[in-house]
Structure 1
Amino acid sequence: METVEIDLSERFEIAFNRIHKALSKMVRNVQGNIFSQLVAHGAKRHAIIRSYKDELFQFAKLRNAIVHEKLRADFYIAEPHEDVVQRIEEIAELLEKPVTALSISSNPVVYFNYHSSIRDVILAIHNNPYTKFPVYKEGSCIGILTSGAILRWMAENLSQDSINLTDIRVSDVISYETKHLIDFVDENKDIFAVEELFEKRHAHGKKLEAIIITENGQINEKPLGIITSWDLIEID
């Protein structure tokens, strides 16, 4: 069976239409269905659209030049460069199926109760590559416990070169923890929205220690994933 090769202009138009369809689903309450309006309005509410806004506007201009000047239905007057076609296809894929924050997060999350044994936390530090653990009290997250706080507690409570951890709880150590800024997002948030949260905090001179992902982004829900700035560096 003979394979029909699609030319670059047709590939570009197909990808553009895919993006237009994806924007129409994402952006609501916009009069009409004009591509540029969907981009402009969508960029105000969706980080993923905002990330590609300039490119999307350029694609719209190129699409007009290619499609509106067709000599006939199957003949394009101009043809885009292959790199441009590959780029618009890549963005179409991202808009159709954005990478969720949960997919790049550390999960399942190791977390502890306010009354958990500190020995369990130390064991978790030994068995895991990370050293930041959400702490919950009466069903709500009250912060993050790090290995640094445990070391500070140990340094102050070291007696005769030994420490008895038998009766020590997270509640005894949490006061040694530095106050960390954390945010919560729902499980459907994409990585662009998460990156933006880190950037906004940084722009205001604050360090966002971690983002905890829950079903609805609520502080009193079970953590499904946790993201630090290091996770974003790794995917970049």
Structure 2
Amino acid sequence: MLTSSKDIKNAERFEVAFNQIHEALKRIVKIKDDRFTVLVRVGSKHHQIIDTYKEDLEQYAKLRNSLVHDKVEIGYYIAEPHTNIVEHIEKIATIFKRPNHALSIATKNVIFFQEEDHIQKVIQGIKRFSYSQYPIYRGKRCIGLLTTESIVKWMATNIADSKVELTNILVSDIMQYEKAHPISFVPKSINIFEIEELFEEAHKTRSTLEAVIITENGQPDQVPLGIITAWDLIEIDYTID
């Protein structure tokens, strides 16, 4: 049964939300083919948020085609989307239009050390926080990451009679065993999509971005406000119901 123009609120709301998502996908995925389903398929490979809603978006594309292409008159729709469907696609559109700031998924309690700190201070930090990597600073500037793996390597190299002497050992001594860990510094205004793009660009160049450190304006000499690793992106929960 056809729906009259005065009763098409849900259909119109659905179309508006669908078009908003389509425009957002064009901005996010950035490929020459701007077909909705292609953007969803390609984008789902690189963006967790798109992958989360991939099946829903593919179904909504079919429904949208039915609503738009099966019209028989202006102001009439072949079907009326259920209110639950409309509300769900509108919520997805809101997420795509205004993605959360990266700080929303970052580890905000950033534990960092100075290169002249005693290694025992770091070990106490590991015991308390159980993180596997810690930004190291020279004064106000971050100079790299210290990992628990390198601490273990140093200990293995310096063990004698089943003991490791930590007296007078500084972070700088351990950093000599540390390989270079690519880090990016970004401003607190950056959003989740932009963070995902940083990791994706690093992957394209066959390099591994170990961490993204968020500061006020993206400067390495500013206090770290949050830190994000690739695992943080994988574990994002985009559930909206």
TM-score of the superposed pair, with normalisation by structure 2:
0.70
How has the CA–CA distance of structure 1 residues 189 and 167 changed in structure 2, closer, same or farther, with 3 Å as cutoff?
same
The one-letter code sitting in structure 1 at the alignment partner of 2:216 is E
2:164 partner SS: coil
Which residue does 2:170 correspond to in 1? 169
Which residue does 1:224 correspond to in 2? 225
Residue by residue, what CA displacement relative to the aligned partner does 1:79-134 show, whole Å, maximum 9, x if unpaired? 46458635531332114531121111111100011111111111111111321000
Q: Does the CA-based 8 Å contact 1:13-1:63 persist in structure 2?
A: no
What's the RMSD between the two structures over aligned residues? 3.6
How has the CA–CA distance of structure 1 residues 148 and 43 changed in structure 2, closer, same or farther, with 3 Å as cutoff?
closer
The one-letter code sitting in structure 2 at the alignment partner of 1:77 is Y
Q: How do 1:198-213 residues align onto structure 2 when only pairs under 5 Å count?
A: 198-213=199-214
Which residue does 2:77 correspond to in 1? 77
The one-letter code sitting in structure 1 at the alignment partner of 2:13 is R
Q: What is the rounded CA distance, in whole Å, between the counterparts of 1:63 and 1:138 in structure 2?
A: 62
Which residue does 1:130 correspond to in 2? 131
Q: Does the CA-based 8 Å contact 1:9-1:78 persist in structure 2?
A: no
Q: What is the rounded CA distance, in whole Å, between the counterparts of 2:98 and 2:17 in structure 1?
A: 14
Q: What is the rounded CA distance, in whole Å, between the counterparts of 2:109 and 2:120 in structure 1?
A: 20
Q: Does the CA-based 8 Å contact 2:8-2:77 persist in structure 1?
A: no
The one-letter code sitting in structure 1 at the alignment partner of 2:152 is L
Q: What is the rounded CA distance, in whole Å, between the counterparts of 1:207 and 1:80 in structure 2?
A: 48
Residue by residue, what CA displacement relative to the aligned partner does 1:44-96 show, whole Å, maximum 9, x if unpaired? 5xxxxx957xx7xx69x869938x98745xxx434464586355313321145
Q: Does the CA-based 8 Å contact 2:67-2:77 persist in structure 1?
A: no
Q: How do 1:1-236 residues align onto structure 2 when only pairs under 5 Å count?
A: 7-13=9-15, 15=17, 19=20, 51=43, 65=68, 71=74, 76-79=76-79, 81-82=81-82, 85-86=86-87, 88-235=89-236
Q: What is the rounded CA distance, in whole Å, between the counterparts of 1:100 and 1:81 in structure 2?
A: 32
How has the CA–CA distance of structure 1 residues 42 and 130 changed in structure 2, closer, same or farther, with 3 Å as cutoff?
closer
1:208 partner SS: coil
Q: What is the rounded CA distance, in whole Å, between the counterparts of 2:107 and 2:155 in structure 1?
A: 27
The one-letter code sitting in structure 1 at the alignment partner of 2:11 is S
The one-letter code sitting in structure 2 at the alignment partner of 1:219 is P
Residue by residue, what CA displacement relative to the aligned partner does 1:1-52 show, whole Å, maximum 9, x if unpaired? xxxx9852143255368x49xxxxxxxxxxxxxx96x9757865xxxxx957
Residue identity over aligned pairs, in percent, reads: 41
Which residue does 2:33 correspond to in 1? none
The one-letter code sitting in structure 1 at the alignment partner of 2:217 is N
How has the CA–CA distance of structure 1 residues 42 and 194 changed in structure 2, closer, same or farther, with 3 Å as cutoff?
closer
Q: Number of matched residues?
A: 206
Judge which range, 211-220 or 84-93, deviates more: 84-93
The one-letter code sitting in structure 1 at the alignment partner of 2:136 is V
How has the CA–CA distance of structure 1 residues 69 and 213 changed in structure 2, closer, same or farther, with 3 Å as cutoff?
farther
